Structure 1
Amino acid sequence: MSTVIEQPLEARLVAAAPQMQSIPATIHYDPHDPFAVSMVFPAPATLEGVDVRWTFARDLLTDGLEEPAGQGDVRVRPYGYDRTVLEFHAPEGTAVVHVRTGELRRFLRSTTESVPVGFEHLHQDLDHQLAELMRDAC
């Protein structure tokens, strides 16, 4: 039985103000979608006033801990000794947050204990995913 992994994080929102505001966030991994992770920002921390979920590749997060990674809506890069920067690009604007690298490493360790890198395909339910695609197409 696979278990969903969720870990609360303290994200520091980079803004024009001299001090970075702390905002709560949760990083999420579901072994049924083994290639992806999600970061969720609760409604009080967003401009829209609703929970905002960003889903992106687990590999992007892993790679971004060591060197800049990503060219699309989500970009990840190391920042100093103990921080990682995540950038979330949307038509409405860009959000840049700093997260403790140790927290992200701990989370990624948990995901690889659940689904080792290279074995993600064994955890995909392709029949279910195909049925969902077909349902949406009708």
Structure 2
Amino acid sequence: MNQITIDTAGWIRSVGDAETVEVRMSYDPADPLAVSLHITGESREDTWVFARDLLADGLRSMAPVGAGAIQVQATSVLTEVSHLGETGDVEMLRLPWWNTREFIRLTHTVVPRGHEDVDIDSWLDDLTAS
């Protein structure tokens, strides 16, 4: 199965700063429950990995969805992904809603929601490998 990747532009805001960034949204069917957002800007390079369902559910909600370090919500034209960093600072990434929606639609064509197959033994082996 093929990976899904969509490149888009976004805006990220942290304490007092705002920056235009490039975002690569990636989905690998080998890890069917997760999506990655690789964020590159003039002063940053970071990758956020979180649940695909969280991103999909956030596209349908005008209130933040998620109880952990990542929350997602939709506005009329944007997808907002907030990230609680290790230092306790919250960063808000704003992406075009239609690009995010198309990305999720494409991931569901490769691995439909509810049909994710995860090999727990291999995952544990990879996790505990030196």
| 1:84, distance to aligned residue in structure 2 (A) | 1.3
Residues paired across the two proteins, number: 126
| 1:30, distance to aligned residue in structure 2 (A) | 0.5
Higher normalized strand content (fraction of residues): 2
1:76·1:84 contact (CA, 8 Å) conserved in 2? Answer: yes
Q: Does 2:130 align with 1:130? A: no
TM-score (norm 1): 0.81
Provide the residue aligned with 2:28 in structure 1.
30
Provide the residue aligned with 1:87 in structure 2.
82
Higher normalized helix content (fraction of residues): 1
Provide the residue aligned with 1:119 in structure 2.
115
Provide the residue aligned with 1:77 in structure 2.
73
TM-score (norm 2): 0.86
Q: Separation in 1 of the partners of 2:58 and 2:69? A: 14
5+ long unaligned stretches in structure 2: none
Report the aligned-residue RMSD: 1.9
Q: Does 2:54 align with 1:55? A: no
Q: Separation in 2 of the partners of 1:14 and 1:132? A: 34
5+ long unaligned stretches in structure 1: none
Max Rg structure: 1
1:43·1:52 contact (CA, 8 Å) conserved in 2? Answer: no
* Residue identity matched to 2:123: Q
Provide the residue aligned with 1:14 in structure 2.
13
